[in-house]
Chains A and B, each alone.
Chain A
Amino acid sequence: MSQVTMTVNGKTASGDVEGRTLLSHFLRETLNLTGTHVGCDTSQCGACVVHVNGEAVKACTMLAAEADGASVDTIEGQANADGSLNVIQQAFQDHHGLQCGFCTPGMVMSTAALLKDNPKPSEAEIRDYLEGNICRCTGYHNIVKAILAASGQDVSAVAAE
């Protein structure tokens, strides 16, 4: 066991990890931040996407020890300071971008990473960026609408289909 220390959602967090401890496991089991979901555990589904030093990564395919000293952002840190939903989260709610909600933390974190680099993505760019996030409920349509809305764009073209 060795100790790791990282900044998680702006706060310092420490814990003991084995070499094999995954970042997803550390977040969920040691820090009790269970919003980061583990869907497939094979880096296919994207439910575990978090940001490490500002970049979207799959927390199930990164060792906790690799994140020692890093800044990690999870779904728990996404809400506004007053606790209300942020723009992306609110858009997912407004446009029914979720049904069971299991994939949603990863979808929201991937969306945040996309909009940071590309504030006004086209529908095609959104669908391409979500290549690594799988949703079994929605057929992606309302997720794409939510992301268009979150980036301040007209969703009527998508809504009409």
Chain B
Amino acid sequence: MYDFDFEKPSSIADAVAALATEDAQALGGGQTLIPTLKQRLASPSKLVSLTGIAEMQGVCDDGDAISVGGATVHADVAASGLIPALSDLAGNIGDPAVRNRGTIGGSLANNDPSACYPSAALGLGATITTNARSIAADDYFQGMFETALDEGEIITSVSFPKPQAANYQKFEQPASRFALVGVFVAKTAAGVRVAVTGAAEEGVHRWGAAEAALTANFSADAVPAAPSADGMISDLHGSSEYRAHLVAVLTRRAVAACA
């Protein structure tokens, strides 16, 4: 790693001020960023840890939604159980030691195309709140590793509306424990949402054809044939056709699990 300065502020305001330094970068749990730094793929002048900010910690029940602090670790979301599908997803990220450090804000800010959390945020229609504004998940994810966040903007909390039913199906790439493909299905009063991670070069996205079919008839039999393989990721773990096939299979499994 190249060296950097380190700061650990105790308030959001102090963190925003610390991030005003040129080439400063926010640090969540570091489970992606620290390996990236070891590879010398990034060279921030300063890391600003967000793990010492009490107001960014924890999960709370807001009635029709739950609010998760941006620096809440996966293990705490897994233990909360307020939205079972979200807790199950958090409880299967990485391994126990990773879940004790990795944070929801870190995962959403990084927007890895194979990460689990983006599919929950998009599938449940979450609202991502930063130090500056609130962003609907539909506007937040802007392609592989790309988000609506501005330089120095911090995810302070994420609000997930409670669904009528929801389920996440992850086809795990066993070495990395990331999703080879993951599908999050949520049944809400406004219709069914299907969010797909791991599959596409654009990163997490909604599968509109499945949403329309499932809103009309919420059953596994209603899931359409596999989407086009165009734009799907192809690598040594699986071809684009294989990933497209998995999208449909996992969607059917998720719908069946909701019943």
Write the residues of chain A forming the contact surface with B, with a CB cutoff of 8 angstroms: 2, 18-20, 22, 41-44, 46, 49, 55-58, 61-63, 65-66, 68, 110, 113-114, 129, 131-133
Question: How many B residues, CB 8 Å from partner?
Answer: 28
Given A66-B49, A113-B96: A20 and B30 within 8 A (CB)? no
Partner of B38, one of A42, A44, A129, A131: A42
Q: Is B34 an interface residue (CB 8 A)?
A: yes
Interface of chain A, main secondary structure: mixed
Chain A residue with minimal CB distance to B39? A42
Within 8 A of A (CB), among B1-56: 1-6, 8, 27, 30-31, 34-35, 37-38, 46-47, 49, 51
Contacts of B46 in A (CB 8 A): 19
Chain B residue with minimal CB distance to A50? B97
Write the residues of chain B forming the contact surface with A, with a CB cutoff of 8 angstroms: 1-6, 8, 27, 30-31, 34-35, 37-38, 46-47, 49, 51, 75, 94-98, 100-101, 175, 177
Q: Are B8 and A66 in contact (CB under 8 A)?
A: yes
How many angstroms between the C-alpha atoms of A9 and B71 in the bound complex? 27
Contacts of B95 in A (CB 8 A): 46, 131-133
Contacts of A63 in B (CB 8 A): 6, 27, 30, 34, 47, 49
Chain A residue with minimal CB distance to B91? A128
Q: Are A42 and B96 in contact (CB under 8 A)?
A: no
Q: List 20 A-B contacts (CB under 8 A).
A: A2-B6, A19-B3, A19-B6, A19-B47, A20-B3, A22-B34, A42-B38, A43-B97, A43-B98, A55-B75, A56-B100, A57-B97, A57-B101, A58-B101, A61-B30, A63-B6, A63-B27, A63-B47, A63-B49, A66-B30
Q: Are B37 and A20 in contact (CB under 8 A)?
A: yes
How many angstroms between the C-alpha atoms of A18 and B177 in the bound complex? 31
Q: Are B34 and A61 in contact (CB under 8 A)?
A: yes
Chain A residue with minimal CB distance to B51? A66
Q: Are A65 and B100 in contact (CB under 8 A)?
A: no
